[in-house]
Amino acid sequence: MTLNVQDSHVPVAELIEYLQNTNRLFKGINQTLNEKYAIGCNSIELDVVPFEEGSFKIPIWVKKVVYNPYVVDGVVTIMGIVVTSLLNNKQETHEIEVNHEIVEVENKKLLENKTTAYALSNIANLAIHNDSISDISVTYEKKNGDRENLRISKTILSKVAEYRIEEETNCLLQTNVTMEIVSPVFSDEPSNWRVRINDRIYTARMKDADFLETMNIQGIAFGKGDTIVADFETVATDVAAGGRPKYNITKVITYPYYTKISKGSFDQGELFNEGE
C-alpha cells in the first residue's frame, strides 16, 4: 500500500495509525479465513521498508506453518487480492484452490468481522481527512503471478469509510450552529462536508435529505468561505477499537442562495450570487 502524498511527509501519529490499522486489517481477514473457511495463516507479521520520496510503502510479510505448500501460496495471493478489493469498495466473491477444491471467499463475510471493518474504515478516513494525500495505491499479485497496481480515489475511499459497524453509545446534538464551508460542495448526494466551527475543522456527514433534494432541484452549490446554520450532531464511537467520534449535519436551517452556471469562459461549478 502506498500513500500518495504531495509534500513527501505525513504526521508521525497518522503513519502509526496506518500501520496499526493495516495490522488489524490483515489479522481480521486472517481470523475470518480460519473461522469460516479453515484456510487462514497461523500468524501474520508486518515489516516496514524505508520510504522513498513522495510515498510510504507498507509491505506485508505473511508467515504460515503448514504441511501443504499450496495452501500457503493460495492464501498469500488471495489476501492481497481481497485487501485490494475491499479498499476499492467491491462486493465480490474470490475463488481459492485448496487441495484441488475451490473455496469461495466472500467480501461480505469478511466485512462481518468487526476488526476488518474498523481497520478498513480507519484507513479510508485517515486518507480522506489529510489534504496532502491525493489517493492510495495498492500493488498486489494476481493469480497468474503478474503484479498489478491500482490507484484508489478519495471518492471510493469515502464509501469504504462507511464499512465500520459500531454501536453509537452517546450522541450530542447542537442546534443552530454557524459553520463555515472549508471546501466547496457540489454534490447533491449524501457526502462528507468539511466545515469550520469555532476555528476547528470537522468532516461531517450531510444527512438532511430535504436539503439535498432542494440542492438538486434549485441547482444550489457553495463556495469556500460560505456559511450555513445547521443542527450539528456528535456521535461517540468505540475508541478502544480504533474508532473516532462521528459528526453529522442533521438539519440545515439557513444557507446562501448560490447556483451553478456553465457559460462563456467560466468553469462549470463557479459560484455567483443571483442578481449580481
Each residue's pLDDT tens digit, 62-118: 555 444 455 555 666 678 888 999 999 998 998 877 767 788 889 989 998 888 988
Q: Is residue 165 part of a domain?
A: no
Residue type, 258: Y
Looking at the structure, tell me whether residues 122 and 195 fall in a common domain: no
Segment 137-181, tens digit of pLDDT: 988 877 777 888 899 999 999 989 888 654 445 678 888 899 998
Residue 226 grid cell:
460560505
Strand order in the sheet with 2-5: 2-5, 133-141, 147-152
Angle at 175 between CA 171 and CA 180, to 5 degrees: 105
Looking at the structure, tell me whether residues 119 and 179 fall in a common domain: no
Q: How sure is the predictor about 232, in pLDDT bands with cuts at 50, 70 and 90?
A: very high
Packing angle, helices 12-37 and 69-87, rounded to 10: 130
Residue 223 grid cell:
463556495
Q: Which domain, by its residues, includes 96?
A: 2-160
Looking at the structure, tell me whether residues 37 and 74 fall in a common domain: yes
Instruction: Compute φ and ψ for 274, nearest 5 degrees.
Output: -60, 135
Segment 175-230, tens digit of pLDDT: 889 999 887 676 666 678 889 999 899 999 888 888 888 888 887 777 778 899 99
Closest listed residue to residue 162, CA positions, set 111, 196, 236, 105: 111
Looking at the structure, tell me whether residues 41 and 146 fall in a common domain: yes
Residue type, 31: Q
